[in-house]
Structure 1
């Protein structure tokens, strides 16, 4: 079963800004996010795992982890998370700040927005939908 990583997107204030920054980096080759430590749950991460990006205190997007690379610099060995170029927006989930990355179990991961749109289109009985910001606020209050 897949496991995911939670990473704070430092310096980005929106998914669009993260997407723009990554599109510039794609010119040089595959997307690589460098971490100091190699994930101990490597096999689970490579079995369909993703990086879930935290932007402004909310999980907001994800990218599939394609592979892990061993990298070296003057400080020693590092780990390069090679990410798929597709940035998928997710439902917003409030998340406290942290340093580095944390594991996220598959059953706790937020759903992709595109899946939610398909579900709402299939459900003709709905009277109205909450904005993602409102839904995140209600979830943080324990009302959803």
Structure 2
């Protein structure tokens, strides 16, 4: 199993990502799963089969890896300008993970399971504002 990691552009909090994914523009109908959140990207992953064996898309929001969603399908699409693109169809369930600082990068990256942040349990989820959580994470606390 292999994962991906990608920056969330134009979103400043996990709550904002949750609201964004509820909009019809950000979902696609899947024959088996119904309406699913979708992430658009340019490149199709060469290791798609490894990702589809239970991999997740880890999301970087405001400089921190904050959550993941299982990748349920990967599809190609033709954009309105005629270029090819890729859609990652995700599970609607957003799983919070141990926050980890990460510098900005373009596109997506592969993330081996051994290097992925661990899932948080309900008792570990912090109610701190995102900027404080980021500062504490950067301090190693």
TM range (shorter): 0.7 to 0.9
Is 2:56 the partner of 1:50?
yes
CA contact (8 A) 2:71 2:91 kept: yes
65, 71, 76: which one aligns with 1:70: 76
Gaps of 5+ in 2: 30-34
Q: Secondary structure at the match of 1:37?
A: coil
Question: Separation in 2 of the partners of 1:90 and 1:56?
Answer: 14
The Cα of 1:23 is off from its aligned counterpart by 1.6
Which residue number corresponds to residue 93 of structure 1? 100
TM-score by structure 2 length? 0.80
Question: Separation in 1 of the partners of 2:116 and 2:50?
Answer: 15
Which residue number corresponds to residue 124 of structure 1? none
- Computed over aligned residues only, the root mean square deviation of the Cα atoms, in angstroms, reads 2.3
Gaps of 5+ in 1: 121-128
Which residue number corresponds to residue 110 of structure 1? 117
Which residue number corresponds to residue 19 of structure 1? 18
Q: Which has the larger radius of gyration?
A: 1
Question: Separation in 1 of the partners of 2:137 and 2:118?
Answer: 13
Question: Separation in 1 of the partners of 2:104 and 2:7?
Answer: 7
Deviates more, 1:21-30 or 1:76-85: 21-30
Is 2:103 the partner of 1:137?
no
Q: Secondary structure at the match of 2:117?
A: coil
CA contact (8 A) 2:41 2:87 kept: yes
Taking structure 1 as reference, are residues 96 and 107 closer, same or farther at Cα in structure 2, changes over 3 Å only? same
Higher strand share: 2
CA contact (8 A) 2:41 2:85 kept: yes
Deviates more, 1:26-35 or 1:97-106: 26-35
TM-score by structure 1 length? 0.78
